[in-house]
Amino acid sequence: MENLQLTQNGEMLVNMLLEKSIDGIFILDNEYRIIEWSRAMTNISGVNKEDVTGKNIFEHFPFFDAIDEARFIRKALGGEEALSPDRPYYFQASNRKGFFEAYYTPLTNVTNQVSGTLAIFRDITQLRTFDDQLISLTDKLRNTIGQKTRELLDANDTLKKELRKRKMFGYDILLKNIELTDSIAYARHIQEAILPLKKEIEKAFSQSFVFFRPKEIVSGDFYWYHSKGTKHYFAAVDCTGHGVPGALISILGYNSLNQAINDHDLVHPSDILNYLNKSVGSVFNHSERSTVRDGMDISLCCVDYTEMTLEYAGAFNPLYYFSKGVFKKIKGNRFPIGSFKGEELKEFLNHQINIKPGDVFYIFTDGFADQFGGPKEKKFKQRQFVELLLENYDTPMHDQENMLRKTITAWQGNNEQVDDMLVIGFRI
């Protein structure tokens, strides 16, 4: 719980609950990661604390996502208490199914900022058996009471049976949703396998960060890194849509980027994007859906430490950078990757600049700036994003990543995330 920085009294109370409570107790941080997992939760779920600590609760237990439990959790992370009543659950590890209610309360740190939420998970499955007992009791009473009362009890009995039927129908739908969500969660493992490892990136960019927050289990945004000889390539890519459709296009983009360098020996970012444009466009132009503009926006950089140069080409998405404390911007071309049927292929421009130690560069997709929130429930917008970078570009890159995460979480509040978010920063 050290990441939550609770007060001493608060931590003592939480520890007591985790040990003694017969109800399940778990604690989440602001990123929905599991920080604490009580003995009772282990008994209910069949999963030990060591196996869930640090995991996103919606990814590890898909049923929480299927029943939209996030709306109650977001309310607590926004500083309000929340009650999630009469909800179905299914833990695969223990093969335990039933119904629960959950009470979420905000946790604040020593500076009185909300740093997480404590959840009390109460299994109410047995309480539902009282319906059966009541129906049995009314059968006995029917023999001893008047006609009018019997009619009332019959009506009540019918309502109870209809209510139970509807709830069980909803439970069947939940199980089907969980199966589908599990399949998508497996697809995420496949998508994550194409993302570069952190240690690979840090070989070329020791001072760097990747802030990546998908809207759904799988993402339409992805980041790509490749090195060849003295050149190091880094891309931030935003595919059409998010979720499963965006993820499918991301696999196509990933393969095409690798083919451009490995199979066709392309070097300059503009040439790589031109190849990508033809490759992606040819796939979609096989379809009869000629009115749909499927494709991607991208920022692609190539850093050469021997020549001390950086080359850039972009489809809509720009390159931001700071050199000697001065903010500069290079705009991408105003058309996407993915030629539209009947349109002439356009050529991407290549930009080259000289670089110096200490220069800081940023590439990103539009999800961060497009997030709704704040006091007036408006978009964060690029202007505010640039101001954020101006205030923090000279701080350590890891601190910048944390700053971005905290800022957008606070801005979003109880609002839903509107798009995948991706921001990449690196210092020469």
DSSP state string for 192-205: HHHSPPHHHHHHH-
Residue 242 lies in a domain: yes
CA 204: distance to chain centroid? 27
Percent of the chain with pLDDT over 90: 45
Query: Closest by alpha carbon to 324, among 282, 353, 363, 344?
Result: 353
Determine the residue type at 360.
Answer: V
Q: DSSP H helical segments within 47-146, as ranges?
A: 49-52, 57-60, 62-66, 70-77, 130-141
CA 356: distance to chain centroid? 35
Query: Closest by alpha carbon to 272, among 222, 239, 220, 311?
Result: 311
The pLDDT assigned to 291 comes to: 45
pLDDT tops 90 at residue 4: no
Helix (H) or strand (E) holding 380: none
Are 356 and 296 contained in the same domain?
yes
The tens digit of pLDDT for each residue in 401-421 reads 999 999 999 999 989 899 999
The tens digit of pLDDT for each residue in 360-415 reads 999 999 999 999 999 999 999 999 999 999 999 999 999 999 999 999 999 999 89
φ/ψ of 153, rounded to 5, equals: -65, -40
Are 19 and 165 contained in the same domain?
no
Residue 21 lies in a domain: yes
The tens digit of pLDDT for each residue in 213-259 reads 988 877 888 999 999 999 999 999 998 765 566 667 888 888 889 99
The pLDDT assigned to 251 comes to: 82
Are 176 and 116 contained in the same domain?
no
Residue 266 lies in a domain: yes
Are 209 and 296 contained in the same domain?
yes
Overall size of the chain counted in residues? 428
CATH number, residue 307: 3.60.40.10
Residue 399 lies in a domain: yes
pLDDT tops 50 at residue 292: no
Chosen domain end from 146, 161, 194: 194
The pLDDT assigned to 382 comes to: 94
Structural domain boundaries enclosing 29? 8-124
Are 234 and 320 contained in the same domain?
yes
Q: Give the separation between CA 398 and CA 94, rounded to whole angstroms.
A: 38
The pLDDT assigned to 290 comes to: 47
The pLDDT assigned to 405 comes to: 94
Are 276 and 152 contained in the same domain?
no
Chosen domain end from 160, 194, 228: 194
The pLDDT assigned to 150 comes to: 55
Are 184 and 258 contained in the same domain?
no
Residue 3 lies in a domain: no
The pLDDT assigned to 278 comes to: 87
The number of distinct structural domains making up the chain is: 3
pLDDT tops 90 at residue 176: no
Q: Quick check: 52 and 37 in contact, CB under 8 A? A: yes
